[in-house]
Structure 1
Amino acid sequence: MADEKVYLEKSVETLENGSSLTPPVDHQTGSVQLLDSDHVVLVPTPSQDPKAHHISFRFLDPLNLPQWRKNAIVLIVALYSSFAVLATSGMGAIVTEVRAMYPPEDAVRVADLLTYPTLFMGIGNLLAMPLCVAIGRRPVFLASLIVLVASGIWCACSKSLSSHIAARDILSMAAGQSEALVAFMVQEVHFVHQRGRAAVWNASIQGVGMGAMFVATTYLVPAWGVRWWYGVITIVNGVLLIVAFFLVPETMYDRAVDSEVDRVVTITNHTLDSDRYGARTWKDDLKIFHFTPRWNETWIFYKVAGQSFCVPTIVWFLLLNGAFLGVYVFHSSTFAPVLLSPPYLFDFDFLGYVQLALIVATMIGLPILGYGSDWIIKLMSRMNKGVYQPEYRLFSLILPSIVAIVSCVIYGQAAQHPEKWSWTGIAIPYAAGNFAFMGANTVSITYVVDSWPAEAGPLLLIVAAGRGFISFGLSYATVPWVELDGYDGAMRTFAIICGVFALLGVPCYFFGKKMRVWSQKRFWPQSC
């Protein structure tokens, strides 16, 4: 890190001569050479070994997977996330049918089926993410799917409300890995210049999947009942478990022990030396465990997670994601009662079609945001003599921030004064709020992984689990908040909060690099 200035001075000369560069010595803090002459440098540096394993840790470099396999991984984990989130958060649209399953005196406790899942998703993150370091990503991901299938069957067959609540809590803990773990795995199989689009495709598939299932739910539940709603979700998770066993390999790779990490590899000269190392086989990928469990790493994980609260950028991302998620939670919790009431008087079946707005926003907005993010970092890196700084990702927050603020204002007015607004004043801001959250989430993920690659797991845990706890608090506060300030007052407050946190992105852009370097020196010098 101390040599960065010298490196940057040399980079100007070497780029002008068209020669290759050695990655900067502070690559662990995110400042990396992304462009070499006219070519994109592959960051992180992939191994030439198709299997790329080591004597003590038999890691297989996920960056060397063929593109079709990477696409399959994104599709599988995105569908897993989609149905996990649907099972935990999708009950709001069918709560009337759920209440009908139990005696009237249990009506208050039925709310626990809707509120507690977000809390237990956060708890699931706290428990599972450290295990990803101790035993690997693949066994934790497969175990999560197994628990989802088992708890889904339990939910469908539960005979009492207490049993149903307990089953949903276990299901939600397994679904929690749809946040930090899935994001981590998607990032690990892609290079820096691909991470923006990969994260957005992951989010897009989730959005389309959830939207389609929300529409289907309004027909499935009245016809087959709530138990078969769980049944369909469980069957899909069972299929995903089988497919994931064959197609989702271990994505963990310890580049700190890779002797080739200082090579400069571009998209034009990366080759695999199968003759020297041997070809990667399905037998290699199907292994569940690739190394002896390192249980001491779990305590280090929690230590790093605790230290991250001292890093202003991480705290900002946590609060920003919490605020944007709060907007979506508020919209998703209130849109149905508003549209079912006068003057809109929607039929229950029509509520599912409101989710089509989510699908449209996801299919159009998020891919543009993802490819735009990768285009911006290449442009900014070219302007910076080929050197990439993670702060370039923050430009992609501008659109989601504007959308979040505008959606708050319109939704609040339409919900409070429905006689003056069309139903689209509810549906469109609802979809826009979801787009804003997913956009902020993808930017946060890519920034964290690019800035602190060695500590990305614990830091993603703080962002993902933290916003889950924030969401849990907001889910309890929504009804009394509306009663106190009205929809327009609550949404006005949300708009101000989102605007303030969005503006904090300006100092984070200008001082983000200093905070990255300071945090590495102060807390994690072993990563430098």
Structure 2
Amino acid sequence: MPESYSKTEAMSASQVETSLEDCVAAPGSQMYDRRGRLLIPQPMDDANDPLNWSTTRKVTIIITVAAWIFLGTFNMIIIGSAFFQITAEFHNDFTLTTYLVGGPLLSYGVSSLFWVAAGNRFGVRLCFFLSSVVAGCFSIWSAKATTFGQLVAARTLASIAFASPETLGPQVAADVFFLKDRAKCIAFISAMQASGFAIGPLAGGFIVRDLGWRWTEWVMTILAFSIAVVIFCIFPETQYTSDLNHAVKRRSLTQEFKFTRVSGGGRAKVHRFTVAFLYPFRYLRHPVVVLVTVYFSLYLLVTSYILTTQSISYATVYKFSDGATALTFFAPLLGVLAAMTYCSFQDMYLARAAKSSTYQPEQRLPFLIISCVAGIAGTILFGTCTERQCHWFVPLIGTFGNMFGFVCANSLTFAYLIDVYLARGDATLVVVNGFKNVAAFGISYAIIPWNGNAGYAVPFGVLAAIIGVAHMLMAVLWWKGKAIRAWTAGKYDDAKETHHGEAF
């Protein structure tokens, strides 16, 4: 907030529709909440600034985003339990059936480049609404596919539409919430995204068993069109560019339903689509972005491998039925819930750091230690116990640990990038999401041959080592992150500090 605005002026409850009623006036130009925590970023004196919206509206927004992002990963793997049925129906090689997950996984990540550009140029609300409608249409094609090629193509294209909230979702959290709540919200979004990986096979197994595999796609059709209705009715435009010459005190009802480029209808975040499309590529020069991208790509590679293996191994090694195999995915789901709890404690710690104005983004990174330990131990446990055919419950402890670490890694690294780049955080997340899904796509074709030739213990031992190497990269970032950021800011203009409400 500009220094020309006093705290009392900015805090006036009669001026803005606000969740700042918990804030108090104090000498100086900055605002604090009732608990004495500095509000980061500082909101503008404008009712269109999402930071000034009521708590109820903010919660509604984040729940909508979480539900929408959940459908993306849910769709990706819901069909996993039907691999054997689909192979028999279309008479294709079982190895090729993994394309039904590998294709959507690749398109889900790569399409982030398009959705962020579209969101920055035309508005997040419009992108979310159109993409949900398109996702529903392609899901209809999937349900009615008559050849294996049609099914792969339809699911891959549907995944492009389902991908819109993956990168825009964390940016919505950054636009709407203060730092003290940001990690909590991104953790919630990340947990819902990871829950899709866990609940997809769980729900899909029973759908396939009772209704047939085509009903997995009809369910996705219903859910996609339903979220489109929700987005149109209750999700406002959340992007904001400050224009204090046109600041307003109240928002009209018509503003809530308009498709505008930014909240309040001001100037777009970027002036041309091509600029927005090409903009994220410049962050490939930034060491922080590269390190986070490699780290998370490696972790997603391992998690994708273990979840796909689980959907097959319990049917082949333990001779579980489709329904029983589906129930085994309660373990990674519990890992998601445990990670949400852990990340909430991390958020409490960082809130105290922000209160003393000594907060640095690297303070998030030590919390990755537990994700390292849980990920390595869980991966080794799953592979070793599956190969030795231990009691069926023991490998599930491994998937619990792996998913716990994955969700922690997702939440903490995404929040870290948002902290560092703020207004341009979505551009950096495009780089992360695009490359991480390419890595996971590549490993998906090695699952069946590798497990078949080497067993389970060796592949999962290698994967555990990969998690360890990935966390070494984050240790470097924790140790020298501040210096790396300073060097990057001195070399590249797009690495300099950004502020809430900026356009670029």
What's the TM-score, normalizing by structure 1? 0.82
Residues 259 and 397 of structure 1: CA distance in aligned 2, closer, same or farther (over 3 Å) = farther
TM-aligned CA deviation for residue 173 of structure 1:
0.8
Match of 1:78 in 2: 66
TM-aligned CA deviation for residue 415 of structure 1:
2.1
- Deviation readout 1:465-502 (Å, 9 max, x if unpaired): 11111110111122333345432222222222211221
Asked if 2 retains the 8 angstrom alpha-carbon contact of 1:19 and 1:37, the reply is no
Q: Distance in 2 between matches of 1:516 and 1:37?
A: 32
Report the secondary structure of 1:252's partner residue: coil
Identity %: 23
Moved more, 35-44 or 61-70: 35-44
Match of 2:430 in 1: 461
Q: How does 1:217-256 map to 2 (within 5 A)?
A: 217-255=204-242
Match of 1:126 in 2: 113
Q: Of residues 332, 356, 371 in structure 1, which corresponds to 2:344? A: 371
Match of 1:64 in 2: 52
Asked if 2 retains the 8 angstrom alpha-carbon contact of 1:197 and 1:371, the reply is yes
Asked if 1 retains the 8 angstrom alpha-carbon contact of 2:69 and 2:162, the reply is yes
Q: Which runs of 5+ in 1 are unaligned?
A: 1-17, 24-33, 52-60, 261-275
Residues 248 and 407 of structure 1: CA distance in aligned 2, closer, same or farther (over 3 Å) = same
TM-aligned CA deviation for residue 207 of structure 1:
4.5
Tell me the amino acid that sits aligned with residue 186 of structure 2: A
Report the secondary structure of 1:406's partner residue: helix
State whether structure 2 residue 83 is matched by structure 1 residue 89: no
TM-aligned CA deviation for residue 215 of structure 1:
2.7
Q: Distance in 1 between matches of 2:240 and 2:94?
A: 49
Asked if 1 retains the 8 angstrom alpha-carbon contact of 2:37 and 2:352, the reply is no
Residues 185 and 329 of structure 1: CA distance in aligned 2, closer, same or farther (over 3 Å) = same
Tell me the amino acid that sits aligned with residue 417 of structure 1: R
Q: Distance in 2 between matches of 1:149 and 1:463?
A: 26
- Deviation readout 1:202-254 (Å, 9 max, x if unpaired): 23344456644533322222222222221112112211111111211111112
Q: Distance in 2 between matches of 1:302 and 1:520?
A: 22
Asked if 1 retains the 8 angstrom alpha-carbon contact of 2:191 and 2:336, the reply is yes
Q: Distance in 1 between matches of 2:395 and 2:136?
A: 35
TM-aligned CA deviation for residue 47 of structure 1:
2.1
Residues 347 and 184 of structure 1: CA distance in aligned 2, closer, same or farther (over 3 Å) = same
Moved segments of 4+, more than 6 Å: 34-37, 292-295
Residues 484 and 218 of structure 1: CA distance in aligned 2, closer, same or farther (over 3 Å) = closer
Q: How does 1:112-511 map to 2 (within 5 A)?
A: 112-208=99-195, 211-255=198-242, 257=243, 277-290=248-261, 297-342=272-317, 344-363=318-337, 365-381=338-354, 385-418=356-389, 421-511=390-480
Tell me the amino acid that sits aligned with residue 134 of structure 1: R
Moved more, 156-165 or 321-330: 156-165
Asked if 2 retains the 8 angstrom alpha-carbon contact of 1:121 and 1:468, the reply is yes
State whether structure 2 residue 468 is matched by structure 1 residue 520: no
Match of 2:3 in 1: none
- Deviation readout 1:42-68 (Å, 9 max, x if unpaired): 1111122213xxxxxxxxx22122212
Q: Distance in 1 between matches of 2:273 and 2:483?
A: 28
Q: Distance in 2 between matches of 1:380 and 1:128?
A: 34
TM-aligned CA deviation for residue 178 of structure 1:
3.7
Residues 357 and 281 of structure 1: CA distance in aligned 2, closer, same or farther (over 3 Å) = farther
Q: Distance in 2 between matches of 1:192 and 1:240?
A: 28
- Deviation readout 1:134-163 (Å, 9 max, x if unpaired): 112111111110111111111112222222
TM-aligned CA deviation for residue 336 of structure 1:
2.8
Asked if 2 retains the 8 angstrom alpha-carbon contact of 1:340 and 1:347, the reply is yes
Q: Distance in 1 between matches of 2:378 and 2:245?
A: 50
Q: Distance in 1 between matches of 2:300 and 2:207?
A: 28
- Deviation readout 1:339-358 (Å, 9 max, x if unpaired): 2234x222221111111122
Asked if 1 retains the 8 angstrom alpha-carbon contact of 2:45 and 2:244, the reply is no
Q: CA RMSD in A?
A: 2.6
TM-aligned CA deviation for residue 131 of structure 1:
1.2
Report the secondary structure of 2:456's partner residue: helix
Q: Distance in 1 between matches of 2:122 and 2:331?
A: 40
What's the TM-score, normalizing by structure 2? 0.86
Tell me the amino acid that sits aligned with residue 423 of structure 1: W
Residues 199 and 293 of structure 1: CA distance in aligned 2, closer, same or farther (over 3 Å) = closer
Q: Distance in 1 between matches of 2:416 and 2:244?
A: 24
Asked if 1 retains the 8 angstrom alpha-carbon contact of 2:37 and 2:354, the reply is no
Asked if 2 retains the 8 angstrom alpha-carbon contact of 1:304 and 1:455, the reply is no
Asked if 2 retains the 8 angstrom alpha-carbon contact of 1:21 and 1:36, the reply is no
TM-aligned CA deviation for residue 38 of structure 1:
5.6
Tell me the amino acid that sits aligned with residue 375 of structure 1: M
Q: Distance in 1 between matches of 2:268 and 2:29?
A: 34
Q: Distance in 2 between matches of 1:515 and 1:496?
A: 26
Q: Of residues 38, 41, 53 in structure 2, which corresponds to 1:41? A: 38
Q: Which has the higher contact order (CA 8 A, sep 6+)?
A: 1
Report the secondary structure of 2:442's partner residue: helix
Asked if 2 retains the 8 angstrom alpha-carbon contact of 1:324 and 1:433, the reply is no
TM-aligned CA deviation for residue 41 of structure 1:
1.5
Residues 358 and 185 of structure 1: CA distance in aligned 2, closer, same or farther (over 3 Å) = same
Residues 151 and 35 of structure 1: CA distance in aligned 2, closer, same or farther (over 3 Å) = same
Asked if 2 retains the 8 angstrom alpha-carbon contact of 1:198 and 1:370, the reply is no
Asked if 1 retains the 8 angstrom alpha-carbon contact of 2:116 and 2:277, the reply is no
Q: How does 1:94-109 map to 2 (within 5 A)?
A: 94-102=82-90, 104-105=91-92, 109=96
